[in-house]
A and B are shown apart, each in its own frame.
Chain A
Amino acid sequence: MSSDDFEIDKLIHEPARLKIMAQLFVVIEADFIFLMRQTGLTWGNLSSHMSKLEAAGYVEVRKEFLDKKPHTVLKLAPKGRDAFNQYRRAMDQVFKDLPD
C-alpha cells in the first residue's frame, strides 16, 4: 500500500473544520447562525474556518439580503463533498489497518 492511500486532508482533519464539513455534508445548505449553534463555534472562529474552506473550493458561499439584512448561506461544493468522502475512506483505512 502506498503512502498516498493514507493521505489525510489536513484542511478537513482540523476538528472545527471537520465539524463544519460533517454538518454541511448532511444538509443541502445552512446559514452562519445554524452552523454556529450546531458546531458550538463562535462567529469569528466559524468565519475564519469558512474562509479557508471557501479558498480551497470546498464550500460555496452565497450572500443575500433578508429583510434588508445581510445573510450568508453556506453549501458544500462538489469538490468539498468529494474531499470529505475521500477523507472518510482514508480515516477508515487508517483504523482498519491498526493492529489489535
Chain B
Amino acid sequence: MNEEQDLKKIEQESYRELMQDGSTEIMAGLFFLVFPLLIREPGLAGIFVMFYVLFFPQFIEVVRKKYVYPRIGYVKLREEEPLKLTAGYVVTVFLLVAAGIVLVYAISIDFIILDMIYRWVPAFFGVIMWAPSVYLKDKTGQNRYYLFGALMTITGFAVAFTDFLPVEVVIMVYTLSWGAAFFVLGIIRAALFIRKYPVIDSPEDDTSEQ
C-alpha cells in the first residue's frame, strides 16, 4: 500500500469535486475578456486589481454557498503554505526586477520597440499560463489541465509569428478569443454541474438537534 499516494488521491478527488462548478473557467474568462481594456486604458489597472482581489473570492464563496455546497456538500480545502524566503526566491525576484528595468531601459532608448513587445505578449502569456496549468494538474490529478497551458502557448507563439494582424490587434484577438473560450467553457460546466447534481436534502434539515 502506498498510503501517501492514496492520501494524495483523496485530496485530489476533493479538489476535483469543487472544480466541477465551472467558476474557475468563468473567472479566467472574465479576466481575459477585460484584459484588453487594461491595454487601452492603463489607468484602470488599479480598479481592476481591486476588483479581482477583493470582489472575486467573496463573490465566489457566496455563489458556492448558494449553488455548489447544497449539491456536493461543503468542504474547505487546505491552503498553500506561504512561500518561504529562500535564497532561490530572493535571486528569482532580483532577476525579474532587473529584467524589468533592462526592458524599460531598452524601450526608452528604442533598442526594443513597443510593437515587438505587443506582438510577443500573447506568447509570454501562454508560457505564464503553464503555472496554473501545472498547479491544477497537480491539485486535481487530471492531465487535461496541461492542455490549456499547451494550447495557450502554441496560439501565443502562432499569433506572434503571423504578420497578417496589426500588432495592436494581436493581443486583443488573443485575449478576447481565450476569454470567450474560457467563459463559454465555464458556463457549460456550470450548467452540467447543476444538471448532474441536484440539491441534496440533508437529513439535518429534519432535525434541529443531531
Contacts and interface: CB of A to CB of B under 8 A. Distances in A.
Contacts of B72: 33-34, 37
Interface in A46-69: 47, 63, 66, 69
A31 interface: yes
Interface of B: 1, 3, 6-7, 10-11, 13-14, 17, 65, 69-70, 72-79, 200, 202-205, 207-210
Nearest to B7: A26
Contacts of A31: 69, 73-75
Interface residues of A, number: 29
Contact of B75 (A30, A43, A63, A91): A30
B204 A29 contact: no
A73 B210 contact: no
A71 interface: yes
Nearest to B70: A33
Interface in A19-53: 22-23, 25-38, 43, 47
Contact of B73 (A33, A91, A95): A33
A79 B117 CA distance: 55
A70 interface: yes
Given A38-B14, A92-B3, A29 B203 contact: no
Given A23-B14, A27-B11, A32 B202 contact: yes
12 contacts: A26-B11, A26-B14, A27-B14, A27-B78, A28-B78, A31-B73, A32-B203, A32-B204, A33-B69, A33-B74, A91-B1, A92-B3
Given A73-B74, A95-B1, A22 B6 contact: yes
A88 B14 contact: no
